[in-house]
Amino acid sequence: MRHLPNGSSGDIVLGIAERIIENRAYLSEIDGKIGDGDHGVNMAKGFGIAAERIRGKDMSLSAAFDLLGTVLMTEIGGSMGPLYGMMFTEFAETIAGAAAIDAALFAKMLTAGLGGIQAIGSAKVGDKTLLDALAPAITAFEAAISAGRSFDQGLDALVIAAEKGRDSTKDMVAKIGRASRLGARSAGVLDAGASSCAVILRELARGTKARLANDVETVR
Amino acid sequence: MRHLPNGSSGDIVLGIAERIIENRAYLSEIDGKIGDGDHGVNMAKGFGIAAERIRGKDMSLSAAFDLLGTVLMTEIGGSMGPLYGMMFTEFAETIAGAAAIDAALFAKMLTAGLGGIQAIGSAKVGDKTLLDALAPAITAFEAAISAGRSFDQGLDALVIAAEKGRDSTKDMVAKIGRASRLGARSAGVLDAGASSCAVILRELARGTKARLANDVETVR
Amino acid sequence: MQRFINNPDEVVEDTLRGFVKAHADILGVSPENPRVVVAASAPIAGKVGVITGGGSGHEPAFIGYVGRNMLDAVAVGELFSSPTAKSFFDAAKAVDAGKGVVCLYGNYAGDNMNVKMAIKLAAKQGLEIATVVANDDVCSAPPSERGKRRGVAGEVFMWKCGGARAAEGASLEEVRATAQKAIDHCRSIGVGLGPCTLPAVGHPNFVIEPGTMEVGIGHHGEPGVRIEPLRTAAEVGRDMAATVLDDHDLPAGAHVAVLISGLGATPLNELYILNDAIESEIARRGLAIERTYIGNYFTSLEMVGATLTVMAVDDELKRLLDMDVHCPALP
Amino acid sequence: MQRFINNPDEVVEDTLRGFVKAHADILGVSPENPRVVVAASAPIAGKVGVITGGGSGHEPAFIGYVGRNMLDAVAVGELFSSPTAKSFFDAAKAVDAGKGVVCLYGNYAGDNMNVKMAIKLAAKQGLEIATVVANDDVCSAPPSERGKRRGVAGEVFMWKCGGARAAEGASLEEVRATAQKAIDHCRSIGVGLGPCTLPAVGHPNFVIEPGTMEVGIGHHGEPGVRIEPLRTAAEVGRDMAATVLDDHDLPAGAHVAVLISGLGATPLNELYILNDAIESEIARRGLAIERTYIGNYFTSLEMVGATLTVMAVDDELKRLLDMDVHCPALP
Ligand SMILES: Nc1ncnc2c1ncn2[C@@H]1O[C@H](COP(=O)(O)OP(=O)(O)O)[C@@H](O)[C@H]1O
Ligand SMILES: Nc1ncnc2c1ncn2[C@@H]1O[C@H](COP(=O)(O)OP(=O)(O)O)[C@@H](O)[C@H]1O
Ligand SMILES: [Mg+2]
Ligand SMILES: [Mg+2]
Ligand SMILES: [Mg+2]
Ligand SMILES: [Mg+2]
C-alpha cells in the first residue's frame, strides 16, 4: 500500500505557506466584499511566520503541522488563529507517532482537524465558512478510499470536492461570523475562509502525492 | 433752567427696553456677521426681564436704572451683562439723591456710565465697540451745554453724535472681543454693541425731552 | 481621518507604549509577552488572579481596569480582534498565585475560542482558569437566548465586583460565582449616532445616516434592532432605560447601579443630558439608584453614541462596588 | 448635528440636572442660585472656600471638580459664556466659613469683568474674595505678555493644588499664593483637528480643513499660531511638548506633572499615542515625570483635538497633587 513518509515531509507545509502568501491579496479582496478585508493579511502573517521557522530544518510533517498550528494559535488571535490553529495541531497529534501515513491515517488526520475546528467554533456545514470546503473534501476522500480507489485517486477526489465546496459558498447566506451581519446581502460572493481552505487542501494533496511511496512490506 | 424730574421717570427705561426688543433680530444679525450672533438675544433677554419688573410700578428714573443694571449684571453674564450693567448702575448712583436732573447732572451721569464701562472692560475709543457710540455722544452733549445750548439741544446733539459714532464703526478693524479674531476681515460691518448703544441713547434722549420741565425757581 | 495616529498598522503598539508610560506606577507590560498588561502588584499571595482580554479600540477597556482590587492582567488583541490564546494564557500565568485564575470576558466568537484554548494550555501546566462570559447586551438576542448576547459595558461591573471579591481573599469558585452574579444582574443597551474607522481600513466600517440613530448597536458596529430618526435626548434616554428595565424586570424598590458610557466621541455634557432622562425613568419605576458612573468607560474608537448599563445590586455587590480601587480608568 | 440634546437653548440646564442626579453624594445646586454648584461638604469650618466659574461646554470642567479637597463651588455660565457676577458672588457666599474665599479662574474678558464685580458685591457684605487668574496657554500671547494669555487645562492643576492647600487649613493668602504658584508653573498648548458646534447656532463655529490641524487653538476655537498639514502623532506630540517646554525653560532634572486632555471627541487611545511622543520629548530634555493624567479633563463640546499641560512641581505641589480627592472628574 502507498504511504506518505512522516519524517522530512515538513516541506509540504512550506508549500502550503507559499500558496497562502501568493493568495494574500486575493483572499483579502474576497473578505473585503462581505467581511473586513483582512483574511489574506491574517493568513499570510501566520503562515509566513511558520514558514520562516520551518525552512531548512528537515522537519517531519507532524512537527511542521504542530509548529504551524501553534504559531496560528499563539501569535495570530482573532478567529482564524484558533480555527486553523486547531486544525493543524489536530493534524499533528493524529500522525505524531507514525513513521508512515497511509490513506486511512490521512483520513483520520483530516477528520481530527475538522473535529478540532468544530470543537472550538460552532459553525455547521452550510453556514458559509471554511467548513463548506473542508467537510465535503473529507467525505469525498473517505468515499474514494472505501470504494477501493488508491491514495492518489483519493487526493484527486479531495481537491475536486474542496473546490466544489468552496464554489458552493457563493450562493450561501452567511450564518456566522462577520458576514452574517449582512443577512441576504452576503449571498453572491465566495467565502474567504472556504477559499483559503481549498488552497490549503490543493497544496496538501499535491505535496502528499509527490511524496507517496510504496510500503516496504507491499514491495517485498 | 430745564430739568428732568427723577421721580416717576422710570418709564423712560421701559421705552428703552421696548426699542431693544424691537431691534432683537437686527442686532443679532449685525453680530452674526463678525461675532457669534447673539447680541440681540442677550440684550432683549436682559432688558425684557427688567421691563417686566418696572412696568406699572411708578418708579423713579434712578430706581429703574438701578433695576436694569442689576438685572444685566446678575442675570445675563457674558460680557454685555457687566458692561451695560455697570453703565446703568453708574447712571443710577449718580442721580440717586437728586429730585431733578439738570443738564450738568445728566452729563455727569453719562460720564459716570462711560467710566463704569471703562473701569470694567479695557476697550478704548476706536476699538470698534459700544464706546465708539457712547464716548462721542457724551462729548457732543457736553460741548453743546458748555456752548450755552439748551438741555433739549444738547440731547439732539447727543443722538446725532451717537449715530455718527455708530456709523464710524463700520470701517473700523475690531481690536477687542470676539470680532477681533477676524482681524482686517472685521471691517465693513457695523459693530453690534455700538448699534445697540445708539438705540439706547436715542430713546433715552426722546424720553428725557418728553419729560423736561422748567425749574420751579426759574419759572417763578 | 482627523486623528492622532502614526502607522495605522501599529495603533495597538503605540497605544500600549503611551499607556504604560502614563501608568507605570500601577502596571506594566509582561516581560514575556508584549500583548499582556500586568498589575505592578500581581501576583498577590493568597489571592485568586483576575484577568480579562479582548480586542483593542475600546479604551479605557480593557487595559485601564488593571490595578489594585481590580484586574490583575489583561490580554490585548489587535483593534476589534481577539487576543491570542497564548496571551490569555500568559496573562493567567503572570498573575497566578496558586489559588487559580478567573477570566472575566465578553461573549464574542474569537474570544470564546481563544479563551477555550488558553484553558487547555493552562490545564497542561496544572493551572486552573475559571471563566465568566459577559452577555449583558439586551438587543443582541432575545431573553430566551441570553447565552447568545454580546458582552458590553456591563463587563466593567463584572470586573469591579469580581476584582473586589478576589481582593477579599475569596476562593476561585467564590470569585467566579460573584462575577457571574454581577453580570447576570446587568443589562445594557447601546445607541449609535456616528460610525468609527479602523485606521488600517481608512473608511468608516458601517454607516449611520445623519438625522438617524441605530438603537441596540454593538461595540464594533454590529447592527442594532432598529434605525430610527434621531430624537431628543429625553426620549432617547427614556427609551434606553425602558428597554433595559423591561428586559430586567426588577421588583419596585430594588437597588441599582447605573453606568453610562460614551462610545469615544460623545462629549460628557451629552451623557449628563441623557442621564437626566435615564434616572427619571429608573426612578419612575420605583427603583433606587445606589451609584452612577458617567464617562468614557468602554468605547469604540471614535464612534458617536452611548451605552447604558443597569446592574441590580444586593448587599454583596454594593460592598464590592464600594471597595477602593487604584486603576487608570476608575475614579 | 448627531448629538444627544433636547432644546438647544437649554443645554446647560439639562446638563446640570443630569450631572447633579449622578453625583448627589458629592454636590448639589445652590438652593439660592440654579447656576451655582456647591459641594455637599461646604462650607467647612476653618477652611478657606475655593471656587471657580466659567462658561459651560468644557465638561467635566468646571463642575466636575467640585468635591472634597478640591473646589467648594462653581459658578456656571451659558455655553462658552461667562457666568454672571451674581453667580460668582453666590458661589463665594455659599462656601465662606469666615476665612475668606479664593476664586481660581481663567483669563477671559467676560470672566474678568464678572469676577471683578462679584468682588465688589462681596466686599459690600464684608466677604473677602482673593483671585488667581490662570494664563497657562503659551500660544495665546508671547512670554513678554504672559498676563494676556488665556487659561486652559492648567486650571485643573491650579484647582487641585489650591483645593488641597485649603484642605490643609492654610490661610486665604497662603491658598492664593499656592494656587498662583501652581499656575505660574504650568504651560499648556492645544491642537485642534475638528471644530465644534454650539447647538443653538447649529453649524461649526470655525473651520479646520480635513488634512490640516490648528496648532495653538483655544478652547472656544480661538485661532492658533499656525495651521499646518496633519502629521503623525509622534511628530505632533513631540512638537506640543517642545513648544511648552521651550516656553517653560526648566533646568534638567526638574520634576513635572503632565496632563493630556482630549477636547471632547478624541478617543483615549489616541491620547495614549500622543503621550508616547510627549513623554519621550520630556525625558529627552532630562525632566522627571512625577505623574501623568490622561483623559477628558477640560473639553470643548465635541471638538476633535487635545491639549498638553506641563506643570513643574516642587515638594509642596507634589504633596498637594498626591492628596486624595473625591470629585466626579478626578481619579
Ligand atoms: N465559527 C467558525 N467556524 C469556521 N469558520 C469560521 C467561523 N467563523 C468564521 N469563520 C471563517 O473565517 C473567515 C474569516 O476569517 P478572517 O477574515 O481572517 O477573520 P475575521 O472575520 O475575524 O476578520 C470566514 O470567511 C469564515 O470562513
Ligand atoms: N471690553 C469691551 N468694552 C466695551 N464694549 C465691548 C467690550 N467687549 C465687547 N464689547 C461690545 O460687545 C458687543 C458684543 O456683545 P454680545 O454679542 O452680546 O457679547 P459676546 O461677544 O460675548 O457674544 C460688541 O459688538 C462690542 O460692542
Ligand atoms: Mg478581522
Ligand atoms: Mg476578516
Ligand atoms: Mg455676540
Ligand atoms: Mg456670545
Taking CA–CA distances from D300, the nearest residue in chain C reads C267
Q: Can you tell me the distance from the alpha carbon of C207 to that of C128, in angstroms, rounded to the nearest whole number? A: 43
Length of chain B in terms of residues written:
220
Chains touching B by CB (3 or more pairs below 8 Å): D
All residues of chain C having their beta carbon less than 8 Å from the beta carbon of residue A79 are 82, 109-110, 113
**Residue B218 pLDDT greater than 50, yes or no:** no
pLDDT-derived band at A216 (thresholds 50, 70, 90) equals low
**Residue B119 pLDDT greater than 50, yes or no:** yes
Which of C:32-51 have CB within 8 Å of D?
none
pLDDT, residue C129, reads 98
* Per-residue pLDDT tens over the stretch D99-143: 999 999 999 989 999 999 899 899 999 999 999 999 999 999 999
pLDDT, residue A28, reads 86
Around C272, how many Cα atoms within 13 Å sit in the side-chain half-sphere? 28
B77, D205: Cβ pair inside 8 Å?
no
B79, D117: Cβ pair inside 8 Å?
no
- Helices marked H in chain C — which ranges? 11-22, 85-95, 109-124, 154-167, 172-184, 233-248, 268-284, 315-322
The closest of D330, D234, D22, D294 to C63, measured between CA atoms, is D294
Chains touching C by CB (3 or more pairs below 8 Å): A, D
Taking CA–CA distances from A117, the nearest residue in chain C reads C113
Fold of A4-214: 1.25.40
* Structural domains of chain D, ranges and CATH numbers in brackets: 12-185 (3.40.50.10440), 186-321 (3.30.1180.20)
Q: Is A39 close to ligand 1, i.e. is its CB under 6 Å away?
A: yes
Hey, which residues does D197 pair with through a beta bridge?
D204
Q: Do chains D and A touch (3 or more CB pairs under 8 A)?
A: no
Report which ligand 2 atom has the smallest distance to the Cα of B38: 17
Among D1, D4, D198, D318, the residue to mutate for chain C (most C Cβ within 10 A) = D4
Length of chain A in terms of residues written:
220
Ligand nearest to the backbone CA of B32: 5
Amino acid at B209: K
Contact D4, C236 (CB under 8 A): yes
Q: For cell 489587535, what's the residue?
A: C78
The closest of B80, B123, B36 to D114, measured between CA atoms, is B80
User: Ligand 2, from D56, D81, D107, D205: best to mutate by most atoms within 8 Å of Cβ?
Assistant: D81
CA distances C311 to C152, C257, C282, D24, Å, are: 13, 5, 12, 19
CA distances B151 to A165, B144, B208, C8, Å, are: 103, 9, 10, 76
**Residue A219 pLDDT greater than 50, yes or no:** no
Q: Tell me the CA–centroid distance for residue C175 and ligand 3, in Å.
A: 32
Report which ligand 1 atom has the smallest distance to the Cα of C113: 1
One DSSP character per residue, D257-306 reads EEEEEE-BSS-HHHHHHHHHHHHHHHHHTT-EEEEEEEE-SS-BTBBEEE
Among C113, C205, C206, C225, the residue to mutate for chain A (most A Cβ within 10 A) = C113
Q: Tell me the CA–centroid distance for residue B29 and ligand 2, in Å.
A: 14
Q: Which residues of D are catalytic?
A: 58, 220
Residues of chain D where predicted confidence (pLDDT) is lower than 50: none
Helix (H, G, I), strand (E, B) or coil at C261: strand
Contact D205, D221 (CB under 8 A): yes
C302, D267: Cβ pair inside 8 Å?
yes
Cell of C100: 487559580
Of all protein residues, the one whose alpha carbon is nearest to atom 8 of ligand 1 is: A177
* Shortest CA gap D205–chain B (Å): 8
D269, C331: Cβ pair inside 8 Å?
no
Cell of D172: 486665604
Non-local (6+) Cβ contacts of A209 within 8 A are: A152, A155
**What is the mean pLDDT of the segment spanning B50-61?**
96
**Residue A25 pLDDT greater than 50, yes or no:** yes
Cis peptide before D199 (omega within 30 of 0): no
Contact D87, D53 (CB under 8 A): yes
The one-digit pLDDT tens for each residue of chain C (331 residues) are 899 999 998 999 999 999 999 999 999 999 999 999 999 999 999 999 999 999 999 999 999 999 999 999 999 999 999 999 999 999 999 999 999 999 999 999 899 999 998 998 899 999 999 999 999 999 999 999 999 899 999 999 999 999 999 999 999 999 999 999 999 999 999 999 999 998 887 888 788 999 999 999 999 888 888 999 999 999 999 999 999 999 998 999 999 999 999 999 999 999 999 999 999 999 999 999 999 999 999 999 999 999 999 999 999 999 999 999 999 999 8
pLDDT, residue B220, reads 36
Q: Do chains B and C touch (3 or more CB pairs under 8 A)?
A: no
All residues of chain A having their beta carbon less than 8 Å from the beta carbon of residue C116 are 82, 120
* Shortest CA gap A149–chain C (Å): 37
Non-local (6+) Cβ contacts of A180 within 8 A are: A174, A186
B120, D82: Cβ pair inside 8 Å?
no
Cell of B219: 419759572
**What is the mean pLDDT of the segment spanning B175-201?**
88
Sign of CA dihedral C172, C174, C180, C186: negative
B74, D86: Cβ pair inside 8 Å?
yes
Residue B124: φ, ψ to 5°: -120, 160
pLDDT-derived band at A60 (thresholds 50, 70, 90) equals very high
B37, D201: Cβ pair inside 8 Å?
yes
Among C272, C275, C281, C294, the residue to mutate for chain D (most D Cβ within 10 A) = C272
C81, A75: Cβ pair inside 8 Å?
no
Q: Tell me the CA–centroid distance for residue B193 and ligand 5, in Å.
A: 9
Q: Which residues of C are catalytic?
A: 58, 220
Q: What is the mean pLDDT of chain D?
A: 96
pLDDT, residue D42, reads 97
The closest of D62, D77, D319, D281 to D189, measured between CA atoms, is D281
Give the number of other CB atoms < 10 A from CB of residue C244. 25
From the list D4, D21, D294, the residue facing C233 with the nearest CB is D4
**What is the mean pLDDT of the segment spanning B183-191?**
88
pLDDT, residue B216, reads 57
Around D299, how many Cα atoms within 13 Å sit in the side-chain half-sphere? 30
pLDDT, residue D331, reads 80
Chains touching D by CB (3 or more pairs below 8 Å): B, C
Contact D321, D64 (CB under 8 A): no
Q: Can you tell me the distance from the alpha carbon of B170 to that of B128, in angstroms, rounded to the nearest whole number? A: 8
Of all protein residues, the one whose alpha carbon is nearest to atom 13 of ligand 2 is: B193
